[in-house]
Structure 1
């Protein structure tokens, strides 16, 4: 915590990319405590960002007096992003940081934590292009530690937030990203989360249909209780969003829509 505060004081003026998740929300809160109006928060809205994440960012900005700028990063005008290649995240982050840089010359900070370095993160390459700093990484702070910091700050509706990558991460590599697919994904995840009280829900868009992934215990309980009614409801959501196809269920596997070998 002391190391994080030292970094924030040293940079003096910062622009923080705030997605609405626990990492960036906690960083934004810490930066505002240290720097006040010299910490500006940038939140990008697009079909890939769940509306509840945007609502959370707006609510915190109003409650704590953050300087908040809502932006369109423009990734949905980038054909390289929409094609959904293996390094789609590079184009997402390049557009995001480029949009922030066009409005601010402050040092850009991200909520990347130490655990993220163990995964394939092409967005980190984009970050290098804009001199983005990752305070958690510099301080050797992992996800569990971020949650502890959020708990210390009494950010009660943040510190237990489940990990929730952008909605485009649900689309299997190579399948084109579009707003209609993402609205379908979000609607299905919201329905399943509400009906099953499940913390982890991923609606994967695959070449052979939709696969809804759940934590093992929820999946097994759901299997035992029968799927008929929920399947019918999800089928109707699909029809409402122009989708007529299979809907299957599976145990959650992180990054299972991501085909790196393609």
Structure 2
């Protein structure tokens, strides 16, 4: 990757700490989604450990198909070939029922498969891309990572989301400006059952929003109503393309499409 920016002394120190935290291990497996965090983690791990890095990508209904495809290509450009495992999240009762701690059960389910797959391939250490900012939000899944012994070197090195974006730019990674992503199930209110049809509608709607080049967006599903959240500066793009968006979603069973004038708000479905 082409390095195209300079770093502040403070961020340089954090990068050194990150490399040292990774260097503690002879070989590592990384839960790799192709998002901002795991992409930087993979890049630095490959720099430090070379071929002794195994990225594992989980393919399941909670991840948009376009994100899965991008993750595969991105890993190859970094110099690693992901091992792909399929996760049937709809076989998990506490995913479908969508309780307040759904993320805990889902993370435990998915990372157990990641851990088993890594061990089967000779890797005992599992890394994930949790960062320092994740500690400030409602993230029940972090408990599952601790129970499974997953190590989070970005967090341990004191890296915030902004730090990670700046380091991504430093390494020339295309994810430096990529909108934050999250499991599609987070678009559905707690205790509302999650169905394949609901995730399909959310994915289709967000793929369309992505095609408009929005800086940040979510499509929240409230029964038969879709609520779009985006930055106020992107409202015009939504309005100008509303007819296509309406047709796309109505073909998937959504009756009402709304735009939240408050704009995008991370964690709107938490709790």
Aligned to 2:225: 209
* 1:62 Cα deviation from its structure 2 partner: 2.5
3-state SS, counterpart of residue 70 of structure 1: strand
* 1:123 Cα deviation from its structure 2 partner: 0.7
Kept in 2, the 8 Å contact 1:18–1:25? The answer is yes
The TM-score, its normalising length taken from structure 1, stands at 0.89
Kept in 2, the 8 Å contact 1:113–1:134? The answer is yes
CA offset digits 1:70-106 (Å, max 9, x no partner) = 1123322101111111111112211121001112232
Structure 1 residues 154 and 192, CA gap change in structure 2 (3 angstroms)? closer
CA offset digits 1:115-164 (Å, max 9, x no partner) = 11001111111001110111011111111111121111111x11111111
| Aligned counterparts of 1:69 and 1:256: Cα–Cα separation in 2 | 33
Report whether the alignment pairs 1:248 with 2:266: no
Structure 1 residues 238 and 60, CA gap change in structure 2 (3 angstroms)? closer
Kept in 2, the 8 Å contact 1:39–1:67? The answer is no
RMSD: 1.8
Structure 1 residues 104 and 246, CA gap change in structure 2 (3 angstroms)? same
Aligned to 1:16: 30
Map 1:131-150; keep pairs closer than 5 Å: 131-150=149-168
Kept in 1, the 8 Å contact 2:28–2:127? The answer is yes
CA offset digits 1:42-95 (Å, max 9, x no partner) = 110112112222122211232333141111233221011111111111122111
3-state SS, counterpart of residue 210 of structure 1: strand
* 1:218 Cα deviation from its structure 2 partner: 2.1
Structure 1 residues 107 and 238, CA gap change in structure 2 (3 angstroms)? same
3-state SS, counterpart of residue 104 of structure 1: helix
Kept in 1, the 8 Å contact 2:226–2:254? The answer is no
Kindly tell me the number of residue pairs found equivalent between the two proteins.
251
Kept in 2, the 8 Å contact 1:172–1:207? The answer is no
3-state SS, counterpart of residue 20 of structure 1: coil
Map 1:155-174; keep pairs closer than 5 Å: 155=173, 157-174=174-191
Aligned to 1:178: 195
Q: Which structure 2 segments of 5+ residues have no match? A: 1-14
Q: Which structure 1 segments of 5+ residues have no match? A: none
Map 1:188-199; keep pairs closer than 5 Å: 188-195=205-212, 197-199=213-215
* 1:222 Cα deviation from its structure 2 partner: 5.6
3-state SS, counterpart of residue 198 of structure 1: coil
Bigger relative contact order (CA 8 A; separation at least 6): 2
| Aligned counterparts of 1:211 and 1:133: Cα–Cα separation in 2 | 36
Q: Give the ranges of 4+ consecutive aligned residues of structure 1 lying more than 4 Å apart after TM superposition.
A: none
| Aligned counterparts of 1:244 and 1:115: Cα–Cα separation in 2 | 34
Structure 1 residues 124 and 244, CA gap change in structure 2 (3 angstroms)? closer
Aligned to 2:247: 236
Kept in 2, the 8 Å contact 1:48–1:179? The answer is no
